[in-house]
Amino acid sequence: MFGRRFELFTLFGFKVRIDTSWIFLAILVTWTIGTGLFPAWYPDLSPVTHWIMGAAGAIGLFASIVLHELAHSIIARQHGVMMRGITLFIFGGVAEMTDEPPSPKAEFQVAIAGPVASLLVALTCLTLGAAGTIVRWPDAIGGVVKYLAVINGILVVFNLVPAFPLDGGRVLRSILWNWKNNLSWATYVTSRIGVGFSFLLIGLGVLNAVTGNLVGGIWYFLIGMFLRGAANMSYQQLLVRRSLEGETVRRFMHVNPITVTPDIPISTLVEEYVYKYHFKMFPVVDGERLIGCVRTREIKDLSRETWMQKTVRDLTIECSDENSIHPDTDAIAALSKMNQSGTSRLMVVENGRLVGVITLKDLLRFLSLRVELEQP
């Protein structure tokens, strides 16, 4: 979902990050309201003032989305759900939960917290706007406050659409989950509604584009495509979690992995190991002692002429949380670690000793079989 992210600050213990795509959104919002909305509302103000109001509106939108996601995060934490943080990106923001809420009640409260926060922001801005009218504060300030009231109202309405993964879809999922006591079924139903809603947005995008509103049409289309992908991915992620639930790394690991010694040349490593076994990572052992691992991503940075002079020891990476895991760790944690580190193999280490290797291929093969046999 995300590209390169930067951490901005920590709020109530939650790390707030910004994806590079948010920069595009900030520019688009500033341009749209600075050259279109505010000139229409306040034609007597100068273009420079309109642009300043646009920038202030974009900053206000940023704060509004952070508050929306912060509300989700605080309630999720109260229910024992670990949070990775809050990330803002081109389509808004997301509170990154490590797992699903533990009950329908928790799901409902986590889901509704965001729209409630946005509604409170909208009402606060409306109140400030009314007070500003009485005290006759400048139109530039009043315009920004009015915009924030409107945009937060739109956020409430849009997010309450009962289409997963929107907040309204999560509220509906909590109701269906409570009714049938079946989270998988509830997620499937609401994700299908989410896909249907995404096609509606895509259709609106095409209609707007052909009737002359090209920018609006593109925006509807992109949001529709994003929601379609997010709805499908959310259901698939739930299936993965349910399929691996209760399984440990020990069940999937290879107990006799192919290893290399630290003194062999890189040329030998490539010819006799990489090209033979087709792995991108090999544990490095010296006798029974695990030293670390060697990866193809480091080899490709070497010139071929140095392969005979360099040895595996020169490229060995020490064991770390990024490339190793304990055999009793939950398998879903191994899958998450592979996703975060961009690797398909992890060393399984117990008491400083290599006891096996777990691969993405084996996890996916198990998932495929389990879903085929057990899912309706």
**pLDDT by residue (tens digit) across 129-173?**
888 888 888 888 889 999 999 999 999 999 999 988 889 989 999
Residues 17 and 132 both lie in one domain: yes
CA-to-CA distance for 240 and 371, rounded, in angstroms?
Answer: 9
Judgement on whether residues 236 and 333 belong to the same structural domain of the protein: no
**Confidence tier at 242 by pLDDT (50, 70, 90):** confident
Residues 290 and 318 in one domain: yes
Q: DSSP code of 82?
A: -
pLDDT at 108: 94
Percent of the chain exceeding pLDDT 70 equals 97
Residue with tokens 């695990």: 290
Residues 34 and 153 in one domain: yes
More confident residue, 243 or 275: 275
Q: Is residue 43 part of a domain?
A: yes
Look at the chain and report how many structural domains it folds into. Answer: 3
Helix (H) or strand (E) holding 240: helix 214-244
pLDDT tens digits for range 21-77: 788 888 888 888 888 889 998 898 899 999 999 999 999 999 999 999 999 999 988
Shared domain for 96 and 204, answered yes or no, is: no
Is there a domain that residue 337 lies in?
A: yes
**96: which 2 tokens?**
């990154």
Please indicate, yes or no, whether residues 110 and 230 belong to a single structural domain of this protein. Answer: no
Q: Please give the average per-residue pLDDT across 97-105, as a whole number.
A: 81
Residue 168 inside a domain? The answer is: no
Average pLDDT, the chain: 86
- Under a CB-based contact definition with an 8 Å cutoff, are residues 366 and 239 in contact? no
Residue 226 and residue 254 in one domain:
no
Q: Is residue 172 part of a domain?
A: no
Separation between Cα atoms, residue 73 and residue 114, nearest integer Å: 9
CATH number of the domain at 357, please. Answer: 3.10.580.10
Residues 120 and 12 in one domain: yes
Query: Is 169 part of a structural domain of the chain?
Result: no
Q: Does 165 reside within a domain?
A: no
Q: What is the pLDDT of residue 120?
A: 95
Q: How far is CA 7 from CA 68, 85, 175, in A?
A: 18, 10, 35
- Distance between CA atoms of residues 125 and 148, nearest Å: 7
Q: Range of 239's domain? A: 181-245
Torsion of CA 117, 122, 128, 131, to 10 degrees: -130
Residue with tokens 């990106």: 89
**Domain finish residue from 129, 160, 191:** 160
- Does the structure show a pLDDT above 90 at 376? no
101 and 208 share a domain? no
Q: What are phi and psi of 258, to 5 degrees?
A: -75, 125
Confidence of residue 374 (pLDDT cuts 50, 70, 90): low
pLDDT tier for residue 365 given thresholds of 50, 70 and 90: confident
Q: How deeply is 371 buried, as exposed, middle or buried, from its count of CB atoms within 10 A (0-12, 13-18, 19+)? A: middle
User: Where residue 219 falls among pLDDT bands split at 50, 70, 90?
Assistant: confident
**Who has greater pLDDT, 78 or 2?**
78
Please tell me whether residue 325 adopts helix, strand or coil conformation: strand
Which of residues 160, 193, 216 is at a domain's end? Answer: 160
140 in a domain, yes or no?
Answer: yes
Instruction: State residue 116's pLDDT score.
Output: 95
When mean pLDDT is compared across 179-188, 303-312, 332-341, the lowest value belongs to 332-341
For residues 265 and 343, membership in a common domain is answered with: yes
| Spatial distance between the Cα atoms of 328 and 348, rounded to a whole number of angstroms | 9
Residue 234: is it exposed, middle or buried by C-beta count within 10 angstroms (0-12/13-18/19+)? buried
Do 16 and 148 reside in the same domain of the chain?
yes
pLDDT (0 to 100) of residue 91? 67
C-alpha span between 157 and 2 (Å, rounded): 25
* Number of Cβ atoms within 10 Å of the Cβ of 310: 16
Residues 6+ apart with CB under 8 A from 68: 93, 114, 115, 117, 118, 155, 159
The SS3 of residue 324 is strand
Q: Indicate if 218 and 85 belong to the same structural domain.
A: no
CA-based nearest residue to 226, from 206, 209, 202, 256: 202
167 within domain boundaries: no
**Tokens for 188?**
């499937």
Q: Radius of gyration of the chain from Cα atoms?
A: 26
Which residues on neighbouring strands pair with residue 9, listed in sequence order?
16
Query: Is residue 2 pLDDT above 60, yes or no?
Result: no
